[in-house]
Structure 1
């Protein structure tokens, strides 16, 4: 059945191209010209110019034809030799949690930060406290984001004693770059109520020292509980700051559609309010946690955006972080760093019965389900549950998504194809953690096949390539580079046969994730009738050395024919956008005030 947007596009295309007289009557609001335009439309891969009217694409083609749509009031957007591509569609990320990344101390390793060892981590926290003294004094809390034990010189997590060396009076919580674990100091342990007598929660681990005392490292649900207690008094104004900061950070990297990939009803309501107030520069599709809000998802699910926000379906999480050794494998980890028993293979955060019930709930109610599954055994659980649900609900057409699939086996890729599961993969891991996977998680043989985009394309399957921010920055050019080159931090090529070319990698950031979200009729390519969502890049990614892709920059992001970000700073609404550049992690003071004011008023 043809939907509204397909019919609208068809009618509009007929009006535009039916004849010269009709074309002359269609005057564009904006004409984009003067640089290479990559349409991501196989029927018309490139164009010289694009005409836009009422936020939608009016015509695409040769400059002479597009100039026929120019009127006295038409704005001409000169590309000045820069490349234009469709707006990027977020295959998987956490846009609101990304606001936490933007508004906390930057503990990322190079090249996104300056933390290389525990001493520099401590110094970054001290400097952040000094730079934000007024807000820290008001809230009495410190949060840092992005440390990675795999990149610390000590190759271990900090301890609570090392955070105590920064402060024993302020509670400190630092979030691992994976987002699945973190470290707290003694004051934060006290506030979280965690003692030597506290038992590990289901689906989580409280790491302990040789005396049985918590050493400060909290995994999965133990960490989420502590984080929730520290942010429990955030307040509506603070949550607004998080959501707005995240959306603007995504826009900086060319995303015109963001995903909030493990949302909560309260967060969705904040997003709705921001959208109604005109404070969201881009679209946001939310997937609340199906275990926490099954009824809310059913009641709020929609294929249509209202003020730039919609609930797209359900999120389920089966296991944890591969680089943190909490993903559930079907075999032991290769050489894990830490105190692990022989044969350790990670763990699931939920049981098979919970997985099956969650998948059945989504299929029964016609809801899309996106599922975090990193290890091979976790993916086995998901694929088994999907196959059972598809037999029970044979008329379902909900495009289930496997998110991450870092350690997929090739036979699992065959099953994914057979079950019509969409793989949202994470090839950016090859850069950030490729060396770590080769040396510690899976070993040199299996490491070549992490995030197996080559296997997927050999089977003529679509896939999405994501950033999972705030696990990493939502850096679109880093995604593009990693998907094409699979270069690790050390310069190794991790799995040459899993590499894809630039046009394929661009599809995995545009038209294929648009399909993933049931939005291919509106987004993902520059075609007549679709939304005028564009990204202006510093150069044509198909015309440069692939090894230099990561040096490309987003010059402008355009949503519905409106510029929402410009690299020269004229469209930046908040100072926080400079956060990732330096090692000091200084964030926007007025956004921090808003966040902390929300906390203190609660």
Structure 2
């Protein structure tokens, strides 16, 4: 077999025993050697036929980045209308302008209606009412733009919707509905605001479209892989996958396609299915793994979203006086879910936005570990937006990992300080430095499509803690560039129980690499977000960005 030797101006290995190199030898998709030209040449007799690949000789190579919390329906959303506040680039590179006021939102809806057949629903995404402040966006606002067909706008958090009167009627959401999350106006009629999964499911059912189920389509997975690879990602999660029969088949098919550019780690959603059935389903796919597909994760949804005012906070709750948020399942049901899946040996990935949610889930995990001790379980709390120091000490003692939604600091930091949490609590928003000080395994993530997929941007936010307006939020929680790079490579790999295969460039691991135009370790933290991904390499195969 041929051995390919990649050269670079610098190789960042994330291996503390050999932090830097200039050459990597790859054979059969795995790393055969790492070093410099001389050390590689000394192995020539054991390398067989050698092919030198010098196309990256003037660039930087680092481990392929690992996105430990994102969603594959990123690959489906661009079929629908974008109504987000910030400009956003789609997988093909087109930039969609953000929507900053009500009139612009209505105008984009009107134009969309003109391009669709009569009566066909308009499905849009990316909207976040928190950026509209005192402007009320309700069914009347949408009716004024489009009233002859259902309009369903999925919020950027994916924990809420705003729908028009036609959509309310189509979903049967009358004033006396018993579905929690259908918000009513002063007259007792549905306002058009729909919150959390149970109520959203009723809308999805009426449309015959569920964005979360789109991950069952091969084209969604292919487009998601393309978007991830463009961002330098070689391993990505799909952290809310229903694992339907169709979806499992699509995952197997697409990940075995020669040109598919990433490794996929789906986490089965545990909500909305009987516990026994879910445990059996997760166990049944354990033998379907391949080199680019890894089953075994189970996703638990506790509370909601901070900007949607549905996350569960400890007293004094939201800074602006809004009451506490919502549970996606009651604490009693969450206890049953966690205990059953933990006892069955599943690897839990647990959504916990608010500090009350963190507290409840730590209590539940402690009970599970006391009843069914498991060594090196690596259960991971995700988001952990304002976890406190006492909770971090507990997490360390329980062997729990944390994966923080660092991008929130940039995109919603100003709103956190002014509206959601207030100044003091915002200082510990996504407290990466404290997580590391407590010795807790750390990953950081985008939650794409909630925020754009791009680990180097996530690293920039973790290092600078700058909001969109340029304010620094929580300077004592900044981490170094090296720590941030660890969190998007070997740290994230550890939380997925894949650090023996990916996350660093070492002999025996998959030859997964990201090729950059600048050295992030010598760059100013401010410049991390401007570093360009030239290409990715998956198992030695080059995928151009």
1:360 and 1:261 mapped to 2: Cα distance? Answer: 20
Q: How far is 1:557 from its partner?
A: 1.7
Q: Provide the rounded CA distance (Å) in 2 between the counterparts of 1:246 and 1:129.
A: 27
**Alpha carbons of structure 1 residues 536 and 389: separation in structure 2 relative to 1, 3 Å:** same
User: 1 or 2 for the larger relative contact order (CA 8 Å, sep ≥6)?
Assistant: 1
Match for 1:208 among 166, 174, 184? 184
Question: What are the equivalent positions in structure 2 for 1:43-122 lying under 5 Å apart?
Answer: 43-67=17-41, 69=44, 74-95=51-72, 97-112=73-88, 113-122=97-106
Among residues 7, 11, 33, which one is paired with 1:37 in the alignment? 11
Is residue 278–residue 307 contact of structure 1 (8 Å, CA) maintained in 2? no
Q: 1:252 aligns with which of 230, 249, 255?
A: 230
Deviations 1:94-152 (A, max 9, x none): 11x2123332222222243421112222333344555xx3xx43992322121122323
User: Number of residue pairs matched?
Assistant: 526
Cα distance between partner residues in 2 of 1:36 and 1:546: 18
Q: Does 1:322 align with 2:306?
A: yes
Look up the match of 2:416: 437
- 1:143 partnered with 2:123: yes
Which aligned pairs between 1:297-376 and structure 2 lie closer than 5 A?
A: 297-302=281-286, 305-306=289-290, 308-336=292-320, 344-376=323-355
Distance 2:260 2:169 in 1: 37
> C-alpha displacement at 1:73, in angstroms?
5.9
Q: Which moved more, 1:156-165 or 1:424-433?
A: 156-165
Alignment of 1:229-244 (within 5 A): 229-232=206-209, 239-244=217-222
Q: Tell me the CA shift for residue 244 of structure 1.
A: 2.2
Deviations 1:371-427 (A, max 9, x none): 101111111110000000001111454211101100211100000100000101111
SS at match of 2:237: strand
Asked whether the equivalents of residues 318 and 324 of structure 2 are also in contact (C-alpha less than 8 Å), the reply is no
Contact 1:390 1:396 in 2 (8 A): no
Q: Distance in 1 between matches of 2:491 and 2:424?
A: 29
Stretch moving more, 526-535 or 387-396: 387-396
Q: 1:510 to 1:438 in 2, by over 3 A?
A: same
- Greater shift, 240-249 or 386-395, is seen at 240-249
Q: Per the alignment, do residues 31 and 124 of structure 1 end up closer, same or farther by CA in structure 2, a change over 3 Å counting?
A: farther
- Structure 1 residues 63 and 277: alpha-carbon distance in aligned structure 2, compared to 1, 3 A threshold: closer
CA contact (8 A) 2:24 2:32 kept: yes
Match 2:203 to one of 223, 226, 232: 226
Distance 1:473 1:296, change over 3 A: farther
Moved more, 362-371 or 100-109: 100-109
In the TM superposition, what is the alpha-carbon distance from 1:477 to its structure 2 partner? Answer: 2.1
Distance of 2:2 and 2:403 partners within structure 1: 39
Report the Cα offset of residue 539 of structure 1: 0.9
Distance in 1 separating the partners of 2:119 and 2:394: 50
Instruction: Give 5+ residue unaligned stretches, structure 1.
Output: 1-25, 337-341, 568-602
> SS of 2:339's equivalent?
helix
TM-score relative to the length of structure 2: 0.91
**What does residue 92 of structure 2 align with?**
none
TM-score, length of structure 1 as denominator length: 0.82
Q: Which segment drifts farther, 262-271 or 529-538?
A: 262-271
Change (3 A) 1:332 1:145: same
Q: Secondary structure at the match of 1:34?
A: strand
Secondary structure, in 3 states, of the residue corresponding to 2:452? coil
d(CA) in 2 for partners of 1:555, 1:456: 32
Gaps of 5+ in 2: 89-96
The residue number in structure 1 matching 2:91 is none
Distance 1:276 1:157 in 2: 48
1:409-448 equivalences under 5 Å are 409-448=388-427
